[in-house]
Structure 1
Amino acid sequence: MTATVQPALDGSVPVVPAADYETWVEEVWPAFIAAAATGRTFTCYSVVDEHKLPDPPNPQAHWGRLMTLLRDEGYIRTAGWACSDRPTTHHSGVRTWKGTAAARREAAA
Protein backbone atom coordinates (compact mmCIF):
# COMPACT_ATOMS: atom_id res chain seq x y z
CA MET A 1 0.00 0.00 0.00
CA THR A 2 1.38 3.42 -0.94
CA ALA A 3 1.14 6.21 1.63
CA THR A 4 -0.29 9.49 0.45
CA VAL A 5 0.98 12.88 1.58
CA GLN A 6 -1.50 15.58 2.51
CA PRO A 7 -0.53 18.98 1.03
CA ALA A 8 -0.24 21.87 3.49
CA LEU A 9 -2.80 24.67 3.49
CA ASP A 10 -0.43 26.84 1.45
CA GLY A 11 -0.33 24.15 -1.27
CA SER A 12 3.21 22.96 -0.55
CA VAL A 13 3.85 19.25 -0.22
CA PRO A 14 5.85 18.29 2.88
CA VAL A 15 8.97 16.19 2.48
CA VAL A 16 8.37 12.67 3.76
CA PRO A 17 11.16 10.96 5.71
CA ALA A 18 12.78 7.99 3.98
CA ALA A 19 11.57 4.54 4.96
CA ASP A 20 15.02 3.27 5.95
CA TYR A 21 18.43 4.70 6.70
CA GLU A 22 20.32 3.16 3.77
CA THR A 23 17.82 4.45 1.19
CA TRP A 24 17.98 7.91 2.75
CA VAL A 25 21.81 7.96 2.69
CA GLU A 26 21.80 7.05 -1.02
CA GLU A 27 19.38 9.92 -1.68
CA VAL A 28 21.23 12.68 0.21
CA TRP A 29 24.86 11.58 -0.29
CA PRO A 30 25.34 13.26 -3.72
CA ALA A 31 24.26 16.66 -2.37
CA PHE A 32 26.87 16.50 0.39
CA ILE A 33 29.61 15.32 -1.98
CA ALA A 34 28.74 18.25 -4.27
CA ALA A 35 28.88 20.69 -1.32
CA ALA A 36 32.22 19.28 -0.22
CA ALA A 37 33.61 19.55 -3.76
CA THR A 38 33.01 23.32 -3.80
CA GLY A 39 35.73 23.89 -1.22
CA ARG A 40 33.50 26.27 0.75
CA THR A 41 32.72 25.90 4.44
CA PHE A 42 29.18 24.67 5.12
CA THR A 43 26.88 23.36 7.81
CA CYS A 44 24.78 20.26 7.50
CA TYR A 45 21.59 22.33 7.50
CA SER A 46 22.82 24.70 4.79
CA VAL A 47 23.12 21.74 2.40
CA VAL A 48 19.76 20.32 3.51
CA ASP A 49 18.04 23.67 3.02
CA GLU A 50 19.68 24.42 -0.33
CA HIS A 51 18.73 21.05 -1.83
CA LYS A 52 15.43 20.57 0.09
CA LEU A 53 16.62 17.17 1.30
CA PRO A 54 14.26 14.83 3.13
CA ASP A 55 14.63 14.02 6.81
CA PRO A 56 16.04 10.63 7.76
CA PRO A 57 13.98 8.08 9.68
CA ASN A 58 15.53 9.35 12.94
CA PRO A 59 16.54 13.01 12.47
CA GLN A 60 17.98 13.40 15.98
CA ALA A 61 20.64 10.77 15.28
CA HIS A 62 20.99 10.25 11.54
CA TRP A 63 22.12 13.72 10.42
CA GLY A 64 25.12 13.51 12.72
CA ARG A 65 25.79 9.93 11.64
CA LEU A 66 25.81 11.04 7.99
CA MET A 67 28.39 13.73 8.70
CA THR A 68 30.52 11.19 10.59
CA LEU A 69 30.35 8.81 7.61
CA LEU A 70 31.39 11.57 5.21
CA ARG A 71 34.30 12.48 7.50
CA ASP A 72 35.35 8.86 8.00
CA GLU A 73 35.27 8.27 4.22
CA GLY A 74 37.59 11.28 3.81
CA TYR A 75 35.20 13.61 1.95
CA ILE A 76 34.93 16.31 4.62
CA ARG A 77 36.92 17.62 7.55
CA THR A 78 35.90 19.81 10.45
CA ALA A 79 36.35 23.51 9.81
CA GLY A 80 35.11 25.12 13.03
CA TRP A 81 31.86 26.28 14.56
CA ALA A 82 29.06 28.66 13.58
CA CYS A 83 25.60 29.65 14.72
CA SER A 84 22.98 27.43 13.15
CA ASP A 85 20.61 28.97 10.63
CA ARG A 86 18.06 26.16 11.17
CA PRO A 87 14.89 27.96 12.34
CA THR A 88 14.22 25.60 15.26
CA THR A 89 17.66 25.80 16.91
CA HIS A 90 17.63 29.42 18.11
CA HIS A 91 21.12 30.00 16.64
CA SER A 92 22.84 27.34 18.73
CA GLY A 93 26.40 26.34 17.88
CA VAL A 94 26.94 23.77 15.13
CA ARG A 95 30.00 22.26 13.52
CA THR A 96 31.09 23.57 10.14
CA TRP A 97 32.63 21.35 7.48
CA LYS A 98 34.92 21.74 4.50
CA GLY A 99 35.50 19.38 1.61
CA THR A 100 38.74 17.53 0.99
CA ALA A 101 40.64 16.71 -2.19
CA ALA A 102 38.86 13.33 -2.21
CA ALA A 103 35.51 15.10 -2.48
CA ARG A 104 36.74 17.20 -5.40
CA ARG A 105 37.95 14.03 -7.18
CA GLU A 106 34.62 12.26 -6.52
CA ALA A 107 32.63 15.17 -7.96
CA ALA A 108 34.90 15.34 -11.01
CA ALA A 109 34.50 11.62 -11.73
Structure 2
Amino acid sequence: MVADATVQPALDGSIPEPRVTKTQRQAGDYETWLAEVWPKFIAAAATGRTFTCFEIADEHQLPQPPNPQAHWGRLMTLLQEEGYVRKAGWACSARPTVHHSGVRTWKGTAAARRAAA
Protein backbone atom coordinates (compact mmCIF):
# COMPACT_ATOMS: atom_id res chain seq x y z
CA MET A 1 0.00 0.00 0.00
CA VAL A 2 1.48 3.34 -1.06
CA ALA A 3 0.76 6.25 1.23
CA ASP A 4 -0.33 9.59 -0.16
CA ALA A 5 2.25 12.23 0.73
CA THR A 6 -0.51 14.62 1.84
CA VAL A 7 -2.05 12.20 4.37
CA GLN A 8 -0.64 12.01 7.87
CA PRO A 9 -0.45 8.38 9.07
CA ALA A 10 -1.92 7.55 12.47
CA LEU A 11 0.43 6.74 15.36
CA ASP A 12 -0.03 3.02 14.72
CA GLY A 13 1.13 3.50 11.11
CA SER A 14 -2.28 2.99 9.54
CA ILE A 15 -3.57 5.40 6.91
CA PRO A 16 -6.91 6.94 7.90
CA GLU A 17 -9.81 6.94 5.46
CA PRO A 18 -10.24 10.33 3.82
CA ARG A 19 -12.97 12.38 5.45
CA VAL A 20 -15.28 13.87 2.85
CA THR A 21 -17.89 16.35 3.96
CA LYS A 22 -20.64 17.84 1.86
CA THR A 23 -18.80 21.16 1.67
CA GLN A 24 -15.88 19.31 0.07
CA ARG A 25 -18.10 17.97 -2.69
CA GLN A 26 -17.60 19.62 -6.02
CA ALA A 27 -20.37 19.69 -8.57
CA GLY A 28 -19.58 18.23 -11.96
CA ASP A 29 -21.31 20.94 -13.97
CA TYR A 30 -22.54 24.47 -13.41
CA GLU A 31 -26.23 23.88 -14.14
CA THR A 32 -26.50 20.98 -11.67
CA TRP A 33 -24.70 23.01 -9.02
CA LEU A 34 -26.90 26.06 -9.64
CA ALA A 35 -30.07 23.95 -9.34
CA GLU A 36 -28.89 22.70 -5.93
CA VAL A 37 -27.75 25.99 -4.41
CA TRP A 38 -30.29 28.42 -5.89
CA PRO A 39 -33.22 27.47 -3.58
CA LYS A 40 -31.02 27.78 -0.47
CA PHE A 41 -29.96 31.29 -1.40
CA ILE A 42 -33.54 32.29 -2.27
CA ALA A 43 -34.64 31.03 1.15
CA ALA A 44 -31.82 32.96 2.85
CA ALA A 45 -32.78 36.11 0.95
CA ALA A 46 -36.42 35.65 1.96
CA THR A 47 -35.47 35.96 5.64
CA GLY A 48 -34.30 39.52 5.10
CA ARG A 49 -31.11 38.90 7.09
CA THR A 50 -27.68 40.07 5.98
CA PHE A 51 -25.42 37.19 4.95
CA THR A 52 -22.28 36.19 3.09
CA CYS A 53 -22.02 33.48 0.46
CA PHE A 54 -19.91 31.29 2.73
CA GLU A 55 -22.41 31.50 5.60
CA ILE A 56 -25.20 30.07 3.45
CA ALA A 57 -22.95 27.46 1.80
CA ASP A 58 -21.62 26.33 5.17
CA GLU A 59 -25.02 26.37 6.88
CA HIS A 60 -26.50 24.10 4.20
CA GLN A 61 -23.35 22.08 3.45
CA LEU A 62 -23.52 23.08 -0.21
CA PRO A 63 -21.05 21.70 -2.75
CA GLN A 64 -18.35 23.74 -4.42
CA PRO A 65 -19.11 24.80 -8.00
CA PRO A 66 -16.97 23.53 -10.88
CA ASN A 67 -15.06 26.84 -10.85
CA PRO A 68 -15.25 28.27 -7.31
CA GLN A 69 -13.26 31.40 -8.16
CA ALA A 70 -15.89 32.50 -10.68
CA HIS A 71 -19.14 30.71 -9.94
CA TRP A 72 -19.89 31.95 -6.40
CA GLY A 73 -19.68 35.54 -7.62
CA ARG A 74 -21.75 34.70 -10.68
CA LEU A 75 -24.44 33.17 -8.45
CA MET A 76 -24.72 36.35 -6.43
CA THR A 77 -24.78 38.49 -9.57
CA LEU A 78 -27.65 36.37 -10.96
CA LEU A 79 -29.56 36.67 -7.69
CA GLN A 80 -29.03 40.43 -7.72
CA GLU A 81 -30.07 40.75 -11.38
CA GLU A 82 -33.24 38.73 -10.64
CA GLY A 83 -34.01 41.15 -7.79
CA TYR A 84 -33.69 38.66 -4.91
CA VAL A 85 -30.70 40.27 -3.16
CA ARG A 86 -29.00 43.62 -2.90
CA LYS A 87 -25.53 44.56 -1.75
CA ALA A 88 -25.54 45.30 1.98
CA GLY A 89 -21.91 46.10 2.75
CA TRP A 90 -18.73 44.28 3.75
CA ALA A 91 -17.67 41.91 6.52
CA CYS A 92 -14.75 39.73 7.49
CA SER A 93 -15.20 36.26 6.05
CA ALA A 94 -15.78 33.32 8.38
CA ARG A 95 -14.27 30.96 5.78
CA PRO A 96 -11.29 29.35 7.53
CA THR A 97 -8.97 29.46 4.52
CA VAL A 98 -9.16 33.19 3.80
CA HIS A 99 -7.89 34.60 7.10
CA HIS A 100 -10.81 37.00 7.68
CA SER A 101 -10.56 38.70 4.28
CA GLY A 102 -13.17 41.27 3.42
CA VAL A 103 -16.21 39.88 1.60
CA ARG A 104 -19.44 41.32 0.25
CA THR A 105 -22.55 40.96 2.37
CA TRP A 106 -26.00 40.58 0.87
CA LYS A 107 -29.53 41.23 2.04
CA GLY A 108 -32.76 39.84 0.68
CA THR A 109 -35.29 42.11 -1.02
CA ALA A 110 -39.05 42.35 -0.85
CA ALA A 111 -39.16 40.31 -4.08
CA ALA A 112 -37.35 37.46 -2.30
CA ARG A 113 -39.88 37.56 0.54
CA ARG A 114 -42.75 37.45 -1.97
CA ALA A 115 -41.15 34.55 -3.85
CA ALA A 116 -40.90 32.54 -0.63
CA ALA A 117 -44.51 33.19 0.33
Q: TM-score range by the shorter chain?
A: 0.7 to 0.9
1:13 partnered with 2:20: yes
Runs of 4+ in 1 over 6 A off after TM superposition: none
Distance in 1 between the 2:73 and 2:110 partners? 22
Q: Structure 1 residues 46 and 10, CA, compared in 2 at 3 Å: closer, same or farther?
A: farther
CA-based RMSD of the aligned residues comes to 1.3
Distance in 1 between the 2:18 and 2:28 partners? 24
Out of 73, 76, 86, the residue aligned to residue 95 of structure 2 is: 86
Deviation at 1:11? 7.1
Distance in 2 between the 1:51 and 1:10 partners? 24
Deviation at 1:60? 0.7
For each residue in 1:62-89, what CA deviation from the matched residue of structure 2 results, as whole angstroms up to 9, or x when unmatched?
0000000000000000000000000001
Q: Structure 1 residues 100 and 57, CA, compared in 2 at 3 Å: closer, same or farther?
A: same
Report how many residues are paired.
100
Deviation at 1:14? 3.2
Matching of residues 3-42 of structure 1 within 5 Å: 9=16, 12-15=19-22, 16-42=25-51
> What is the TM-score with the length of structure 1 in the denominator?
0.87
Distance in 2 between the 1:50 and 1:70 partners? 18
Matching of residues 65-80 of structure 1 within 5 Å: 65-80=74-89
Rg larger in structure: 2
For each residue in 1:31-55, what CA deviation from the matched residue of structure 2 results, as whole angstroms up to 9, or x when unmatched?
0001000011000000001000000
Out of 49, 54, 59, the residue aligned to residue 58 of structure 2 is: 49
> What is the TM-score with the length of structure 2 in the denominator?
0.81
